[in-house]
Amino acid sequence: MRKICVIGGSRYFGKLLVRRLQATGHQVTVINRGSSAPPAGVEHLVVDRDDEEALDVTLGARTFDVVVDQVCYHPVQAASAARAFRGRTRRYVMTSTIEVYDPATAVLPTVPRGTPVPEDIVDAALWPVDTDLPWHDAAYLEAHYAEGKRQAEAVLVQKAAFDVAVVRSAHVLGGGAGEFTGRLAHYVEHVTQGRGITVHAEPLPTVFIHYEELAELLLWAATGTDFTGPVNACSDGPLDVHDLSAVIAAQTGREPLYRTVEGGETASPFSFDRHYAMSNSRAKALGFSFSHTADWLPGAVAEALGTSAAPTA
């Protein structure tokens, strides 16, 4: 049994992770602002992680074997966590994102189109950090989400007095109504209602992961391995928007309608005109086995169909 602290853990794959940690016999503490209570038997510390003084007081004399940080979005939060958990944990697992590799948001080494992107093109040990930027401004953070994640990783890797592992997640799907981003629902609704899906002229593939698989990988990262640094978390089998829509079409009998983006228009989610589909080879070499997207996507679509609005056309 290990003592595990989860920061966040109130929804989607974080909520599932808490349940799986508890089910496998670990002593679990959840830290969040009180938006929802964890399962019975899980310690719940209600505090705003952005209030470092309050966090320090709330933690008190507690120590943990591992901290899993689900909600670290920028370097100021990471620096606060590095201080707050110094001497309180030996291992820290941060949930990051595929978007750290987006070449539209940073100058990155070029990866040939079609070559899965490896972890080392974003080196957190060398990435520059600027904590004076307006990270607490919601609009700024939203506009600089990928850079916020890159710099959060960098602070932990460069400054923390404990081992740091970073899980860079692919686009997460599944869970029906629990999939709070609404991105799969966007496609389901557009296909079933005969609405045009706005895509690039030549959309490139990206990678996905089921929310249950991501929870399982985070469980493994927290309790089943001692790697440090980043790992990419994605199922085998990249897809582009046409592949994704085809799975929906197969279950609905409705052919997708597409419209090519014009000018500065925003495309539908998962339509990309740039290549940054990740490689999962490091996680595999460390011992984690991934599913294939085809194994779970039809089920995720069926869940989304069950929770989406009825067709209007």
Read off the pLDDT of residues 145-193 as tens digits, 9 standing for 90 and up.
999 999 999 999 999 999 999 999 999 999 877 777 889 999 999 999 9
The pLDDT assigned to 308 comes to 56
- Ordered by start, the domain boundaries in the chain are 3-307
Would the pLDDT of 313 be above 60?
Answer: no
CATH number of 3-307: 3.40.50.720
Read off the pLDDT of residues 79-127 as tens digits, 9 standing for 90 and up.
999 999 999 999 999 999 999 999 999 999 999 998 999 999 999 999 9
Percent of the chain with pLDDT over 70: 98
The pLDDT assigned to 11 comes to 77
Q: Which of 111, 133, 135 is nearest to 122 (CA)?
A: 111
User: What helix, strand, coil percent values describe the chain, rounded to 5?
Assistant: 35, 20, 40
Read off the pLDDT of residues 48-63 as tens digits, 9 standing for 90 and up.
999 999 999 999 999 9
In this prediction the pTM is: 0.94
The token pair at 295 is 């194994």
The token pair at 78 is 């990471």
Lowest pLDDT segment from 70-79, 129-138, 167-176: 167-176
The pLDDT assigned to 10 comes to 77
Would the pLDDT of 230 be above 60?
Answer: yes
Q: How many CB atoms lie within 10 A of CB 58?
A: 16
Mean pLDDT of the chain: 93
Percent of the chain with pLDDT over 90: 88
Q: Are 166 and 94 in contact (CB under 8 A)?
A: yes
Q: What is the C-alpha to C-alpha distance for residues 32 and 46, in angstroms, rounded to an integer?
A: 5
